[in-house]
Amino acid sequence: MAFSNKKKQKLFTEINITPLTDIFLVLLIIMMVVAPSFQSMDNAVDVPEVNNGINIEQEKVTVSITKDGAMYINGESIKPSQLTDKLIAAKGDAETPEVVVKADKTIKSSTIMNVMDAAQNAEYKKLIVAGEPLNKKEEKELKKNAEINVPEDGE
- Chain mean position to CA 24: 37
**Cβ-contact 135, 49 below 8 angstroms:** yes
* E strand map for the chain: 61-65, 71-73, 76-78, 98-103, 126-129
Nearest to 49 by CA among 132, 146, 141: 132
- Calculate the dihedral angle through the C-alpha atoms of 122, 124, 130, 134, rounding to the nearest 10 degrees: -30
List CB contacts of 49: < 8 A, sequence separation 6 or more: 135, 137
In the chain, the amino acid numbered 52 is N
pLDDT (0 to 100) of residue 146: 72
Task: Classify domain 61-148 at the CATH topology level.
Answer: Nucleotidyltransferase; domain 5 (3.30.420)
Q: What is the mean pLDDT of residues 146-151?
A: 65
Is pTM beyond 0.85? Reply is: no
- Calculate the dihedral angle through the C-alpha atoms of 38, 43, 45, 47, rounding to the nearest 10 degrees: 120
DSSP 66: -
Domain ranges in the chain? Answer: 61-148
pLDDT (0 to 100) of residue 45: 45
Q: Tell me how far apart the alpha carbons of residues 52 and 8 are, in angstroms, rounded to a whole number.
A: 77
Half-sphere exposure of 121 (CA within 13 A, CB side): 13
pLDDT (0 to 100) of residue 147: 72
Q: What is the mean pLDDT of residues 29-57?
A: 63
Identify the three-state secondary structure at position 81. helix
Q: Which residue has the higher pLDDT, 36 or 43?
A: 36
pLDDT(27) > 90? yes
* E strand map for 15-54: none
Q: Each residue of 78-133: pLDDT tens digit? A: 888 888 888 888 887 777 888 888 887 788 888 888 888 998 888 888 888 876 65
Band of residue 29 on the pLDDT scale cut at 50, 70, 90: very high
